[in-house]
Amino acid sequence: ALSFFGYDDNQARAASWLKPNYEDKNVSPWQMTEYVNTQVPEFPVYSYVRYGGTLDLLKTLIYNEFPVIIEAGYDPPRAAQGWMGHYLLMVGYDDAAQQFTTYDSYDGQDMVYTYAHIAEHWQHFNYTYIVLYEDSRTEDLHAILGDNVDEAQNARNAMEIARAEAVADQTDTFAWFNMGSNLVLLGEYEDAATAYDVARTTGN
């Protein structure tokens, strides 16, 4: 994503900051955003992490040349590591074929996934997206994001998406888990615990 703006270092520079402990198996979206915002001062590039994204939003960001990364669930048999999260840089879309082209952090460049696949596996991580932008395009990005620029409102919006999914299918584990995550963002910890409990005891 940073290479879109001319950044040409390999992943070692980011890895040394994001994962100073080599045994660390996880990098969170907020850490990636923090890296962009604090560790590449030579580029006037910034980043937001937000939740409750949609396929239409992804297409709008791509069309308007805002690099956008999503976090999605992943469990390929060949990896033999069990279910995990991984990141996809969204680089193109084709409405006729109903598919996105991505740079996949596990499988490499120009990996194609259907809209249905992205929608299913993106839900596993609360439809999280990381968008990068130059300072000169802040207003353009804000116009696209609307009230999701505000972190609290974004959490409320994402909460309503998860709530609607749970109402539509009360056995949807990820919907309940996402409700819990959004309630944590809103500081509603008791309700979050209830949603997490439902996610643990029900589901597909």
How confident is the model over 80-127, as pLDDT tens digits?
Answer: 666 677 899 999 999 999 999 999 877 778 889 999 999 999 999 999
Q: What's residue 82's pLDDT?
A: 63
Mean per-residue pLDDT over the chain, rounded = 92
Distance, in Å, from the CA atom of 58 to the CA atom of 29, rounded to the nearest integer, reads 17
> What torsion do the CA atoms of 168, 174, 175, 178 make, to the nearest 10 degrees?
-170
Q: What's residue 85's pLDDT?
A: 76
Q: What's residue 11's pLDDT?
A: 84
Nearest to 118 by CA among 148, 141, 151, 92: 92
Handedness of CA 8, 62, 137, 133 (dihedral sign): negative
Q: Which residue has the higher pLDDT, 38 or 204?
A: 38
Q: What's residue 204's pLDDT?
A: 55
Q: What's residue 68's pLDDT?
A: 98
How confident is the model over 133-154, as pLDDT tens digits?
Answer: 999 999 999 999 999 999 999 9
Q: Which residue has the higher pLDDT, 9 or 98?
A: 98
Mapped onto helix, strand or coil, the DSSP state of residue 19 is coil
Q: What's residue 152's pLDDT?
A: 96
Q: What's residue 3's pLDDT?
A: 92
> What torsion do the CA atoms of 86, 1, 60, 176 make, to the nearest 10 degrees?
20
At 22, the pLDDT band (50, 70, 90 cuts) reads: confident
Q: Which amino acid makes up residue 90?
A: M
Nearest to 7 by CA among 46, 47, 42: 42
At 77, the pLDDT band (50, 70, 90 cuts) reads: low
- Beta strands in the chain, from DSSP E residues, in sequence order: 45-50, 68-74, 84-94, 99-104, 108-114, 129-134
Q: Are 157 and 147 in contact (CB under 8 A)?
A: yes
